[in-house]
Amino acid sequence: MPRPKSYNREDAVKKACVAFWEHGFQTLGVRELEQHVGINQFAIRSEFGGKEGLFLEALNFYGAAAMANEMAPMKVGGISDIISFLQGLVTPGSMTSSAFGCLMVNTGIENVRFKSPKLEAVTQAYWAELQAHFVQALRNDAQKSYDTDSFEAESLAASLVTAVMGVHVQNRTQKDSTAGRPLIDLMCDMLMQFSTKHCEAHHPEA
């Protein structure tokens, strides 16, 4: 008869997420991971398939939480919701603001050397999802305000994703969750001007 688990799987994944977020995948040894997560090497191997398997679950947990809590408003919202998302990246206490940067960005940088197809797939899917949320929010605003034929939502959304990556790198490099604020302020001002300009073009004063 198998022994009952002495740990909660979801709790272990959450703890692993924080540990990998702070220390990175390659620099965090199995012994140190055991201490952070509270389960031994055997359990990590049998339950998750090893360190990389646990890391993949932590990445998926991180991504799902960000999509459900931070990205979701953009699906039905507009530019104001993009601005709220961007501002959250440099707001202390926000789920997406951290002196550790972004787990997805950090993983992408690490994986340049590690070259794991599985890690690459998870991170690329995350950025594709973020870009899709940006595109949807921009199109939602466009439908209400201006001519969508001349509006390149995909190009702007791709630029926003690149900016988000840069903000996270700056936050981690400076160990300050607000370090990327100047870039965020610039992007938010651009979005507000963009929205106003196109709204006025579509609804000129009589």
The predicted model scores a pTM of 0.88
Q: What is the pLDDT of residue 7?
A: 76
Q: What is the pLDDT of residue 83?
A: 97
Nearest to 142 by CA among 82, 66, 68: 82
Is the separation of the CB atoms in 104 and 40 below 8 Å?
A: no
Alpha helices, DSSP H, located in the chain? 9-23, 30-37, 41-48, 51-66, 72-76, 79-88, 103-114, 117-145, 153-173, 181-202
Q: Which residue has the tokens 């979801």?
A: 10
Q: What is the pLDDT of residue 22?
A: 94
Q: Alpha-carbon distance 127 to 115, whole Å?
A: 18
Q: What is the pLDDT of residue 182?
A: 96
The Cβ-side half-sphere exposure at 67, using a 13 Å CA radius, reads 16
Q: What is the pLDDT of residue 146?
A: 56
Tell me if the domain spanning 60-201 has CATH number 1.10.357.10.
yes
206 residues of the chain, pLDDT tens digit each: 445 566 789 999 999 999 999 999 999 999 999 999 999 999 999 999 999 999 999 999 999 999 999 999 999 999 999 999 999 999 998 888 999 999 999 999 999 988 999 999 999 999 999 999 999 999 998 887 655 544 588 999 999 999 999 999 999 999 999 999 999 999 999 999 877 765 555 555 54
Q: Alpha-carbon distance 39 to 199, whole Å?
A: 56
Q: Alpha-carbon distance 174 to 58, whole Å?
A: 24
> DSSP string covering 111-128, please?
HHHH--HHHHHHHHHHHH
